[in-house]
């Protein structure tokens, strides 16, 4: 709790774990329960399959999400939050609340509402 502990870079490590472009959204979608890869992909438009996979792998490596491979054909893989992942949710909520109170001037959008505007 000592503020000096920030020097230990724990903040860096933690934000690094959720700093991926799609990671917060992934964690959100996984929060209600396990989800198949394709479902996750459909739920999060605008991500390439490769990147979605990468982010999942990283979340997995960081112990935030788990992967369950059902031995079926066609393949079926489920992703879900781990205990640690679940424990991170309140932290994300704190961040979200701070943003709501401090970033009223920002363009905050829902990813799936975004169409190909600029370029």
Interface with a copy of itself (CB under 8 A), residue from 9, 38, 51, 61: 9
Give Cα separations from 66 to 7, 39, 49 (angstroms). Answer: 30, 16, 18
Residues numbered 77 to 96 that lie near a copy of itself (CB under 8 A) are 84, 87-89, 91-96
Binds 11: which of DNA, a copy of itself, none (CB < 5-8 Å by kind)? a copy of itself
Paired residues of 81 in beta bridges: 65
Query: Which residues lie below 8 Å from residue 112, measured CB to CB, with a gap of 6+?
Result: 45, 46
Point out which residues bind DNA (CB under 7 A). 19-22, 36-38, 41, 46-51, 53-56, 67, 69, 74-77
């Amino acid at each position: 709790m000592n503020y000096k502990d920030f020097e230990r870079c724990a903040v860096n490590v933690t934000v690094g774990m959720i700093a991926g472009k799609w990671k917060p959204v992934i964690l959100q979608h996984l929060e209600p329960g396990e989800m198949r890869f394709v479902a996750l992909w459909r739920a999060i438009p605008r991500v390439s399959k490769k990147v979605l996979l990468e982010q999942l792998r990283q979340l997995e490596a960081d112990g935030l999400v788990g992967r369950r491979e059902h031995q079926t054909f066609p393949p079926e893989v489920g992703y879900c939050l781990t205990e640690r992942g679940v424990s991170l949710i309140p932290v994300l909520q704190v961040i979200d609340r701070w943003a709501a109170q401090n970033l009223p001037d920002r363009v905050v959008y829902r990813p799936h509402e975004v169409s190909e505007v600029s370029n």
